[in-house]
Amino acid sequence: MSEVDVLFAALRQAADPHTVESIENAVRHGADRDLHRINALAFADDHDLDQEKTIAAFLHAARIGAFEMTWNVLCPGCGGVLETGTTLKTVDRETYHCALCAAGYEPTLDEMVEVTFTVSPRVRRIAGHDPDRLPPLEYYRQMFFSSGVDLPKDFEAQFGRILLEIIELDPGEKAFVSLQLPLQFVIIFDAVTHSAQFIDVQGEPAVERQNLSMVFSYGHAPNETISLRPGLLRLTLENHTDRRVVPNVCVAGDELHHLLASRRAFLTAKRLLTNQSFRDIYRTDTLDINQRLKITSLTFLFTDLRGSTALYERVGDLAAFDLVRQHFKVLHEIVATEAGAIVKTIGDAVMATFPRPDRAVAAALRMREAMSRLNTERGSEDLLLKIGIHEGPCLAVNLNDRQDYFGQTVNIASRVQALADPNIILTTEAIAGDAHVSEILRRGGITSISRMEALQGIERKVKIFALP
């Protein structure tokens, strides 16, 4: 049995076998391009797989060494990869600058950090493992653009219509290029060093040849837009790096914008951090102690058991412990199947996160039903959940050697749960006002009841919605 056979046999034990079969088929028969920086959500959709099971399968594949997981900081404008690393710990700058868009961005984990998976060289060697040998436009496709940019299959042909020149320069090499500048806005851009020069071509055609020099280095300074006239341009290009560079000269007009405009969903860092499989596998190796990464929108769900102290007194420590542990197991399974993750347990309470409000509400309703079934089976009312849900911005942090969250959104969610009566789900307006949540409640025949409440530490009263 080969090493690849052994790895996939192990993967089938850890993840959904049907999903693993699709991944193994792709590894054995797919094109090189399809195995580099895989978009797990697109892979699931293309192969008619469950997204959560697909994410879990790739996470387990990375854990056993069959795939390599990368965290890529993206430009929200062009969708280019600004920086890539093997862990989230590498996302450590306050701002990231995109030379192609001439804009700076503060990183957030919602849409600016993607997580992708590349087949390991020990499983299959692909062209993407040696990016400096990729053809120039293939380098742009595989290395510069994120998995969220849905480039057309004939990308090379479409880009060729606006491409004036593209060239490869080896380390230390210098080249001279002559080209005709059209009466349009032109960009010179290199995807390796992220060097850019903008040229506003305007006025009457130049009678004499124009000259422009550009040096490619890792420490390049942002270039101001220069004005040139239509006509012949002699371009001098110099590579001052230790890698091949692949600068191109193209017309930056509607065709370029249209080419990059098509986007697709991708696995964000936020979604991965709220994935139970990820938290189970990468418990302590997510964030550095000093990292504070912003999430613009995350949904928090808190639960607590009513009267758990009295429960221990009534049925005894051992029986109560087994019952509480059973309740934790049920909640864990429900959270995981609703694309969420349990952040921590505090006594008999649970703190969980979800990427969207509707997944949290769906989980809460299922939790309430599950506790009701357990109580019916036992012929008692020992398991009565108090549930609170809120959504908003927060910080992803490292607390007590675990990935945790900090901020007012967390505080409000916790305080809302504290107000809940047994078997009543309380949400804030941020949750109740979500269109997908409204549809869940409509289908379930649930009518929310609202009231204003004062929450400790919150200056203004908060509108609370009860889901009886």
Name the residue type at position 266. F
What is 112-145 written as a DSSP string? SEEEEEEE-TTT---GGGSGGGS-HHHHIIIIIB
* Rounded Cα distance, 289 and 411, in Å: 21
In which residue are the tokens 């990869």 written?
81
| Confidence at residue 183, expressed as pLDDT on a 0 to 100 scale | 96
Domain that holds residue 11: 3-133
Q: Are residues 307 and 365 in the same domain?
A: yes
Indicate whether 140 belongs to any domain: no
Indicate whether 126 belongs to any domain: yes
Q: Are residues 9 and 80 in the same domain?
A: yes
pLDDT digit string (tens) for 237-293? Answer: 999 999 999 999 999 999 999 999 999 999 999 999 999 999 989 876 678 778 889
Q: What percent of the chain has pLDDT over 70?
A: 96
| Confidence at residue 457, expressed as pLDDT on a 0 to 100 scale | 82
Q: Are residues 214 and 308 in the same domain?
A: no
Indicate whether 151 belongs to any domain: no
Structure tokens at 174: 């210098």
Q: Are residues 297 and 394 in the same domain?
A: yes
Residue 315 has pLDDT above 90, yes or no: no
pTM for this model (two decimals)? 0.91
Average pLDDT along the chain = 93
| Confidence at residue 377, expressed as pLDDT on a 0 to 100 scale | 84
Residue 401 has pLDDT above 80, yes or no: no
Indicate whether 372 belongs to any domain: yes
| Confidence at residue 63, expressed as pLDDT on a 0 to 100 scale | 95
Q: Are residues 361 and 313 in the same domain?
A: yes
Indicate whether 194 belongs to any domain: yes
Q: Are residues 238 and 325 in the same domain?
A: no
In which residue are the tokens 């036992």 written?
378
Sequence-separated (6 or more) residues with CB below 8 Å from residue 406: 292, 394, 395, 397, 399
Distances (CA, A) of 297 to 106, 109, 288, 291: 15, 9, 21, 18
Q: Are residues 235 and 375 in the same domain?
A: no
Indicate whether 106 belongs to any domain: yes
Do the Cβ atoms of 189 and 214 come closer than 8 Å?
no
Helix count and strand count (H, E) for the chain: 15, 21
Q: Are residues 249 and 118 in the same domain?
A: no
Indicate whether 230 belongs to any domain: yes
Q: Are residues 110 and 180 in the same domain?
A: no
The domain boundary, picked from 199, 227, 261, lies at 261
Which of 179, 163, 191 lies closest to 250 in space, CA to CA? Answer: 163
| Confidence at residue 310, expressed as pLDDT on a 0 to 100 scale | 63
| Confidence at residue 449, expressed as pLDDT on a 0 to 100 scale | 94
Q: Are residues 243 and 372 in the same domain?
A: no
Range 459-465, long-range pairs (CB < 8 A, 24+ positions): 462/412, 462/416, 462/428, 462/429, 463/428, 463/429, 464/416, 464/419, 464/426, 464/427, 464/428, 465/426, 465/427, 465/428, 465/429, 465/431, 465/432
The domain boundary, picked from 67, 98, 133, lies at 133
Overall average pLDDT of the 433-442 stretch: 96
Q: Are residues 206 and 315 in the same domain?
A: no
Which of 221, 252, 71, 236 lies closest to 146 in space, CA to CA? Answer: 71
Name the residue type at position 338. E
As for how many domains the chain has, the answer is: 3
pLDDT digit string (tens) for 195-224? Answer: 999 999 999 999 999 999 999 998 766 678
CATH number at residue 427: 3.30.70.1230
Indicate whether 37 belongs to any domain: yes
Q: Are residues 291 and 420 in the same domain?
A: yes
Overall average pLDDT of the 400-416 stretch: 92
Comparison of pLDDT for 224 and 337, the residue scoring more: 337
| Confidence at residue 306, expressed as pLDDT on a 0 to 100 scale | 78
